[in-house]
Amino acid sequence: MTGCLPELFVRVHKSYMVSMKFIRRVDQDTICADKYFIPIGNSCRARFFSRLQQIE
């Protein structure tokens, strides 16, 4: 499924994928995307923060 989505989407947890354009705030283990708080899984953390640095 992840291969079908645009590159704006990133997996942040085994149960969650998030569009980078909706992320409002990032804490060490939580993302605030619009009005939702989404956990960052341990297995996804390094890849997520790497992608976040590429965009900034």
Angle at the Cα of 38 from the Cα atoms of 25 and 1, rounded to 5 degrees: 115
Outline where 1-56 has alpha helix (H). 45-55
Q: Global pTM?
A: 0.79
Query: Mapping DSSP to helix (H, G, I), strand (E, B) and coil, where does residue 44 land?
Result: coil
pLDDT at 52: 87
Q: What is the pLDDT of residues 15-43, one digit of tens each?
A: 999 998 999 999 989 999 988 999 999 99
Task: Count CB atoms within 10 A of the CB of residue 39.
Answer: 13
Domain span at residue 39?
A: 2-55
What residue has token string 């969650």? Answer: 16
The total of structural domains in the chain comes to 1
- Cβ partners under 8 Å of residue 29, min gap 6: 39, 40, 45
